[in-house]
Structure 1
Amino acid sequence: METSLISPDNTWALWTFLTGWAAVSIYLEQKYTWASKVSGAIIALIGAMVLANLNVIPLESSVYDAVWSYVVPLAIPLLLFQANIKKIWQESGRMLTIFLLSAAGTVAGTILSFVLLKDAIPHLDKIGAMMSASYTGGGVNFAAMAAKFETPGELVSATVVADNMMMATFFFVLMAIPTFNFFRNMFRTPHIDEVESGASSNEDETQAASFWKRKEISLKDIALSVASAFALVTISFHLADFFAGTIPNGENVNVFYQILGGIIGDRYLMLTTLTVLAVILMPNYFENIQGTQEIGTFLIYLFFVVIGVPASIALVVTTSPLLLVFVLIIVLMNLLFSLVLGKLFKFNLEEVLLASNANLGGPTTAAAMAIAKGWNKLIVPILLVGTLGYIVGNYIGTGLGYWFGAFM
């Protein structure tokens, strides 16, 4: 196995890379028109992908795990402090509908993939359960289904390889779609239009630079925003863990308890809920804190760098090409269903893309996309709806897994 230039345990060097490349991506996006059109998020993702496959940075490290475990949870409340709470339920209703329509694409894609490849890939019923659950609610469901169906370890590893490669490519495609006139002409794009209409007329200033104008911020703002975020994450995670450990769980448990545990026992849903409640109860406190969007967005950029570190492209080609085909079919069907049904039911392009993202990547990647694109009114709705996908995904994965098992 090849070793990388920066070793997985070289913590300081890896944090330097993560923060440095995130900073470079933001700088390029705000400095150059081409980079603004591509978006800093894609630059962050591609740069990490290239360096990982050139063995400059490792494919796995505890530093990357820390971003998932600590950076992303802190970013969520920071980005919700300035959320437009009044429109949450109105927007969430629309997002839930397109999210479920998008999930139908995952189900259709998984069934099609299974029928085409069940004789070529061993234990595809178990893999189908894992991927249908994962591509409805995100990676949380992947682990749950792998444990539930006792999938062989080597197959789990190979599927992770294919999944990581596919997700890195998929996020790039989703971020790029709004730049094509073909899609802009087919759908309404109110959130994109709002961001563009707020852009400066200064030809030397990119759209990103105009959106992220310099703001007044004090030491007190930084202290209150960071301390509040830590407090909300701590309280939310402890509460969720308490409920998860108290509420009965398991295959033979009443469906009501399974749903209840999935809702109040889920860390991210609890974090989103408590943050929204805090902002409703203390609007003046949170509205007067400056810089929360900026700090939260920088943390999300670290996340984009990390998801750009996929499993080795060479490893995909040599160990799991058929699994790559399997997940590719699911992803394409999800995107096709999302776009076609989104157009049919007159959803906005931004809603369609975020719903597809929330299905395949989970609420954090969908929220990260909304943040990167400046679609601020959709951050809270997609977090709420996407987190509910954790529950829906496990039911879909379980149902398809048992059904597929009858054909193996």
Structure 2
Amino acid sequence: MAAAILQILLLLGIPWAAQRLARRALLPGWLSPVVLCYTIGILASNTKLLPLNDAWSTHATEAGILMGIPLLLYSTRLRALFAHARPALLSFGLCALSGVTASSLAAWHFASQLPESWQLAGMLTGIYTGGTPNMQAIGLALQAPRETIILVNAADVLLGGIYLLLLSSFLPVLLGKILPAFAYQSDGAEGQTDPVPPAMDYRDAGIAVAFTLLIIGAAAGLTFLLFGHLQEIAFLMLALTSLSLLATAWGRVRSWKSTFETGEYFLLVFCVGLGMLADFRDIMANGGPIIAFSAFAMFGTILLHLLLSRLFRIDRDTFLFTSVAALYGPPFIGQLASITGNRQLMLTGIALGLLGYAIGNYLGISLAYLLQALLVG
């Protein structure tokens, strides 16, 4: 009983602590709350200092995704994004197209070695469009084995860490020799945001959490009404995403404060839980092909996006912000702004990351079933 209570405290407390450290700028630039939470979960699992209950960790990952996706989407203002960020939208679209293309080529190349390559391509498309939450949601929707989901996430952490290291070192300078320079606006209006994050509004956050439970209930009810059971996870996740986006049309939902921070908290709960499920001995023994598949898809996505950006004359900073928005999601945009010194694209990058959360599930699930029909029959 004591071990179970301690595990629950870790699952709920580590994300809170990570957010507090980030808000107070006490984390080094290379360490995001997402990486911190996932790393602590991995250490808890692999050091064996605490007997972990896999069922609790699994419940945490599932609850984190179900609660996190709607909360992250509530602040989405798609109309404003489409009106004011055409170059960024073009670059983001090129990145999504690159992700679909590279993941499909990886699925075709590895089809004989990995029979589940169609599932992997769908999950990776979700990652390269909106980030980790989409991967988990798509994995659940496609009924991928838990071990596969864990291996894909571990490969993404490894390869994503390499790309983040490149972004933090020489890559921006190198890209500046390939792509045009960013044209700063004279007034820098978009970048004039308060560098100090606003205080959490726990009242609005509580209302948003209660509303999210209603959204989840409505998605589950619609699934049960149409299919007579809740095993159609693909439909459930798409219904959850669609209902959440519909809710953003209600101005009161968009006016709630701290919904993004609350959604990020649940995402961090997911990261701790998934880390607790990651046994690196199994990853080292069985993860080689999946790491190779992920490397093919990820670096293929980045390279193809770069080539298309060069063709369409996308500037360096727009390329970087849209690439990070697609591959990592909104939590890493601030980190990139610090690296590049460009704050004018922060809000656009965050908005595009939210857009990725919104469309990633549709793209990943659709691509997976298309590849299943073509590769499996």
What are the residue-to-residue correspondences of 1:324-343 with 2, within 5 Å? 324-343=291-310
Percent of aligned pairs with the same amino acid:
13
Q: What is the CA-CA distance between 1:247 and the residue it aligns to? A: 5.3
**Paired amino acid for 2:214:** I
**Paired amino acid for 1:271:** S
Please tell me whether residue 162 in structure 1 is matched to residue 147 in structure 2.
Answer: no
Contact 2:151 2:290 in 1 (8 A): yes
The 2-side partners of 1:290 and 1:21 are apart by 22
Please tell me whether residue 107 in structure 1 is matched to residue 101 in structure 2.
Answer: no
Contact 1:83 1:377 in 2 (8 A): no
The 2-side partners of 1:81 and 1:396 are apart by 26
Equivalent of 1:238 in 204, 211, 217: 217
**Paired amino acid for 1:212:** P
Equivalent of 2:33 in 14, 30, 40: 40
Equivalent of 2:125 in 119, 123, 136: 136
**What is the TM-score normalised by the length of structure 2?**
0.71
* 168 and 224 in structure 1: CA distance in 2 versus 1, 3 angstrom threshold: same
**What is the TM-score normalised by the length of structure 1?**
0.66
What are the residue-to-residue correspondences of 1:64-75 with 2, within 5 Å? 64-75=57-68
Contact 1:132 1:397 in 2 (8 A): yes
Please tell me whether residue 351 in structure 1 is matched to residue 305 in structure 2.
Answer: no
* 397 and 240 in structure 1: CA distance in 2 versus 1, 3 angstrom threshold: same
Equivalent of 2:197 in 202, 212, 222: 212
Contact 1:113 1:326 in 2 (8 A): yes
Equivalent of 1:314 in 259, 278, 281: 281
Report the secondary structure of 1:38's partner residue: coil
Q: What is the CA-CA distance between 1:211 and the residue it aligns to? A: 3.5
Counting matched residue pairs gives 342
The 2-side partners of 1:127 and 1:195 are apart by 47
What are the residue-to-residue correspondences of 1:137-286 with 2, within 5 Å? 137=126, 138-145=135-142, 156=145, 159-183=148-172, 186=175, 210-212=195-197, 215=199, 221-231=201-211, 233-246=212-225, 265-274=238-247, 276-279=248-251, 282=252
Where do 5+ consecutive residues of structure 2 fail to align? 127-134, 338-345
Partner deviation per Cα, 1:303-352 (whole Å, 9 max, x = no partner): 33334445212112234433443343333323333344345431531212
Where do 5+ consecutive residues of structure 1 fail to align? 1-6, 148-155, 201-209, 250-257, 358-365
**Paired amino acid for 1:235:** L
What are the residue-to-residue correspondences of 1:46-57 with 2, within 5 Å? 46-56=39-49
Contact 1:339 1:352 in 2 (8 A): no
Q: What is the CA-CA distance between 1:184 and the residue it aligns to? A: 5.7
2:362 counterpart residue number? 391
Contact 2:125 2:360 in 1 (8 A): yes
The 2-side partners of 1:13 and 1:379 are apart by 34
